[in-house]
Every structure is written in C-alpha cells, then in structure tokens.
Amino acid sequence: MAARRRKRSNRGVSRVGSLLMSSLSREQSMMLLFADLCSRWGEVVGPKLAGRSSPGSILDGTLTVVVSDPILSQEITMRGGDIASRIKKGWGLEVSGVTVKVGRPRRSAWLVSDTVKSVKLANQTIMVKGFAQKDVRSDIAVWTGRFTARDTELVRAYSRLESDLEKVMDFMSLSGIPKEEVDVSAVTTMIQYRRTLQGYDTNEIEQYVLEQSVTVRSKEVDLVASLSRESTTLIREGVEFFSFSPEYYYSGIEDMKIQLLGEATLNARQRAEQLAVNSGGKVGPLRAASQGVFQITPLYSTDVEDWGRYDTTTIEKAVKAVVTIQYSIGP
C-alpha cells in the first residue's frame, strides 16, 4: 500500500514538474528541480548520509556535495556514479560527476525557500512610464496674408489688384523681408451676381472679386511675428488685407525625438529601480517597450492629444516624449 502511495506521489511531482517546465524559463525550471532534489536528498543517498550532507550546486554537469565530516567525502565520491544516475532518472538533471566539499550542509527547507523566492522574483515584472521634455525655440516661421480687389469691371478689378500687390511687396521690403522669401499665389476670380429683393440670384453681374495671397517663409521668427501684427497698416493705404495667424516650427524636431526617447528610457529605468527597492529585488532585463506619441505644446501647457500634438501658434515650445517599458524583477 505504501509503495502504491509513493508511486502516485511521484506521478504528481512529475505532473507539477511538467507544468513548471512549460510555464517557466529553462533556468527557473532547473532551479525548482534542484530545490526538489535538495528536499528529497535522502532518496538519493539514504537518510543516514542525508542528515550529514546536502547538494551544494550543479555547475557544468558537476554536482558539488557539502558534507559535515571529511570521513564522508570518500563514501560520497565512491558512490558518485550511482548518485548521478539516480538524479538523472528522478529529476532529469544532467550530472556527469560528483565532487565533495567539507562545510556546513544546508537544510533542505532553506534551500527550497531561497530557490522559490528567486524564481518568484525572476518571474515578476514591473511596468513603468518614462518621461522627457525639452524646451525649444522655433526657428522657422510661416505667415500668409490675403488681399482682395472688387469692381464692376474685370479689367479695373485686376488693375487695382496689381496696385495692391505692389503696396504689399513694398511693405514686405520695408519690414526687412527679402523678396525670395515671399511666395505670391495665382489670382483667383469670383463673380457676384445681383439678387432680387426676394433673395434669388439673377444673371446680372454685380461685381468681380479678385483675390491673391502672399506667404512668407523665414528663419527670422521675431520679424515675421512683428510683420503679421503690423500688416494692418496696409488697410490704411486702401488695401483690403486679411492677415492669418503665423505658424512657428522647429526644424530639428526629428533629431530631438531620438534624444528624448533615450532620456525617457533612462527616466523609466530610474523609476523602475526606485520601485524595485520596495520589493526587495532589482531591475532585470527589459521585457517590452512601446513608444508613446510626441506632444509639442506651448510652454507650461498640460494639453495632450491621443494622436500627438504639434502646436504652431507659439514661438517657445515644449517637446515631450513618453515611453512605456516593462522590466523583469530579479532577486
């Protein structure tokens, strides 16, 4: 009856060992199998020797056995082949030789406890977010203005538009904008028809509306900002002018993204190490990493968008990067 129980017990251990091998890494599974060997050391060498010896380690196929008395060294050495065979058969651990070291054998409960603790820590992970930010000043400005000429005669409307363009270009030149930094669009022509008192369109032409725009692209961002504000002086000269808001960009943003990703990753590592202290472990290898979207916002802004943001309304900006990293936690 006792033999049958032992057989069922061995089948249970085998089943648990199989599950461990499938769910843990090879190193972790070997640690647990060695811990099981330590707890059942008496089955290998007998209860008498087990009380005065213990497995120390298995390194490169060699089992080191710790004995309390030098006299036991010879017996363990003589039984080396049998010990290796029993370990391979019972636990599947490859042992090609046995060495003996005199010392203080460790109790199997301590060995198992330390091993399980190590495996648990090794199987744990921690996920942290890393953050990095750098303030930049825009080095490219883009500004567009639009002017309109109206007249009942198309030719007169076009002549007026040409005159207005000269005034606009003179204004640009006096403001310090080189001609090569100004793009002039093609003329767009619209026809407005008269409406009846009831609001219906007729076939009678009321006036021609001609529009043209100028766009400035310059590295002189402060000059462009001033230009956009002072463009209203054209209205006093009789030009029907509309100024759009300037847009400001930073040309080195792609290189900065790489730098910020590195800084955010370092920040994530520092956070993980701080959190790992509380678990009694240390940060191990990186398991997974994902890059968040970049947020380019006005200074001191907390606004974010799911797909990232690129603020073009301000000269001074903050470029922000976030990464999510998962580390393993080791003992």
- List, for residues 234-255, the tens digit of each pLDDT value: 999 999 999 999 999 999 998 8
Q: Name the pLDDT band for 120 (thresholds 50, 70, 90).
A: low
The pLDDT of residue 201 is 84
CATH superfamily assigned to domain 2-122: DnaA, N-terminal domain (3.30.300.180)
Query: Is the pLDDT higher at 108 or at 137?
Result: 137
Tell me the average pLDDT of the chain: 83
How large is the average pLDDT for residues 186-211?
A: 91
With residues binned 3-state (H G I as helix, E B as strand, rest as coil), the percentages for the chain, rounded to 5, are: 45, 35, 25
Angle among Cα 183, 185, 186 to the nearest 5 degrees reads 150
Determine whether 141 is exposed, middle or buried from the number of CB atoms within 10 Å of its CB (0-12, 13-18, 19+).
buried
Q: Please state the pTM of the whole predicted model.
A: 0.60
The pLDDT of residue 10 is 44
Rounded Cα distance, 62 and 94, in Å: 9
The pLDDT of residue 26 is 61
How large is the average pLDDT for residues 1-14?
A: 42
The pLDDT of residue 9 is 41
Q: If you write DSSP's letter for every residue of 16-33 in order, what string do you get?
A: HHHHHHHHS-HHHHHHHH
How large is the average pLDDT for residues 88-110?
A: 79
Per mean pLDDT, which range of 20-29, 219-228, 291-300 is the poorest? 20-29
If you classify domain 126-137+252-330 with CATH, what class do you get?
alpha beta
Q: Name the pLDDT band for 124 (thresholds 50, 70, 90).
A: confident
Quickly count: other Cβ atoms within 10 Å of residue 250's Cβ. 18
- For residue 126, is pLDDT > 50? yes
The pLDDT of residue 103 is 83
- For residue 34, is pLDDT > 70? yes
The pLDDT of residue 320 is 94
The pLDDT of residue 225 is 95
Query: Is the pLDDT higher at 26 or at 289?
Result: 289
> pLDDT tens-digit profile of 249-288?
999 998 898 999 999 999 999 888 887 776 667 888 888 8
CATH topology classification for 140-249: Alpha-Beta Plaits (3.30.70)
How large is the average pLDDT for residues 74-98?
A: 87
Query: Is the pLDDT higher at 210 or at 201?
Result: 210
Q: If you write DSSP's letter for every residue of 86-110 in order, what string do you get?
A: HHHHHH-----EEEEEES-PPPHHH
φ and ψ at 92, to 5 degrees? Answer: 75, 15
> pLDDT tens-digit profile of 160-195?
999 999 999 999 999 999 999 999 999 999 999 998
Question: What are the beta bridge partners of residue 151?
Answer: 208
- For residue 8, is pLDDT > 50? no
Share of the chain above pLDDT 70, in %: 84
Rounded Cα distance, 61 and 58, in Å: 6
The structural domains of the chain, with segments of one domain joined by +, span 2-122, 126-137+252-330, 140-249
Determine whether 95 is exposed, middle or buried from the number of CB atoms within 10 Å of its CB (0-12, 13-18, 19+).
buried
How large is the average pLDDT for residues 204-226?
A: 95
CA dihedral 63, 64, 68, 71 (to 10 degrees): 80
- Its sign, for the CA torsion 85, 91, 96, 100, is negative
Quickly count: other Cβ atoms within 10 Å of residue 179's Cβ. 9
Question: What are the beta bridge partners of residue 289?
Answer: 325
Spatial neighbors of 157 by CB under 8 A, at least 6 apart, are 149, 150, 151, 207, 208, 209, 210
